[in-house]
Structure 1
């Protein structure tokens, strides 16, 4: 993908202090069908504004399972927060366990809640089963409440537990 111009209309642009290349390598090691593309570098131009050494990495294009991203080394001025996260939809518990463990490696375990985690770069991810979306759209308020109550007690999503809550007999809370 080097020297290829990406034409995806909307591309998440992630601001790192100076870890964009490290982050791209970390993320592409986790997701299949992933790659690192173009890497650009700072020059002396604008040094009085950005303060980054000439030759250091400016941006890294990378693709995770077909989704294109750009990582920018912009300095320590901005930090990720939970207001934005990326959802990883998983087909089964094995996938949930895999992505949960890989993405939270070196991350903040205090941030783990209801399927959300924070990785070692401070980026938030939600690792959830594809079945959850259908469960949350169910019109049965009791069923929805049981699922939500089960999720609120979890850090990592346990698919069997939410499926049991979803299928519980009428009248069970």
Structure 2
């Protein structure tokens, strides 16, 4: 187990968020749910204080901190996707119920957490040996909201996206 793990701050939604996140990726599970043992800023005794969970093999903690805290792009979670089907599935799931698409594969889920949904093929194109192709792929990526592997490939190869 890693000594370092992210702690996500919520206002009463920690268990809902953790359950949602673990439903998305293999090797994910709820490890423990801890209730408040006294009434306090984080909630009444008996309500969820934190959830310890594993997401794709990485440990996380979700904390009900007692007030809304806004997330920024200074911290986001990148999910490497094997193919376009995985990009599409995760993109749609994380946007469901109030998420917001942003740009270049970024989005915010309904809890306000920032995610980067990235096909592993992106690196083949933006770091490819053909520097002109890599530049075209980078320009194509910068114009995308959800990343599209076929569009990146066509840009790299100098083919029209149409």
- Output the TM-score relative to the length of structure 1: 0.84
Q: Over the residues paired in the alignment, what is the CA RMSD in angstroms?
A: 1.8
State the alpha-carbon separation in 2 of the partners of residues 155 and 97 from structure 1: 12
Measure how far apart 1:141 and its partner are: 4.0
Measure how far apart 1:85 and its partner are: 0.8
Can you list the C-alpha shifts for 1:130-155, whole angstroms capped at 9, x where unaligned?
12124333465422321121112211
- Output the TM-score relative to the length of structure 2: 0.89
Task: Indicate yes or no: 2:146 matched with 1:156.
Answer: yes
State the alpha-carbon separation in 2 of the partners of residues 99 and 107 from structure 1: 14
State the alpha-carbon separation in 1 of the partners of residues 140 and 51 from structure 2: 39
Q: Aligned residue for 2:127?
A: 137
Q: Which has the larger radius of gyration?
A: 1
Does the aligned pair in 2 maintain the 1:107–1:122 contact within 8 Å? no
Q: Matched residue pairs, number? A: 159
Any stretches of 5+ residues in structure 2 without a counterpart? none
Can you list the C-alpha shifts for 1:42-84, whole angstroms capped at 9, x where unaligned?
1227x2xx25211111110111121111000002242112221
Runs of 4 or more off by more than 6 Å in structure 1?
Answer: none
- 2:111 maps to which of 111, 114, 121: 121
Task: Indicate yes or no: 2:131 matched with 1:147.
Answer: no
Task: Indicate yes or no: 2:48 matched with 1:54.
Answer: no
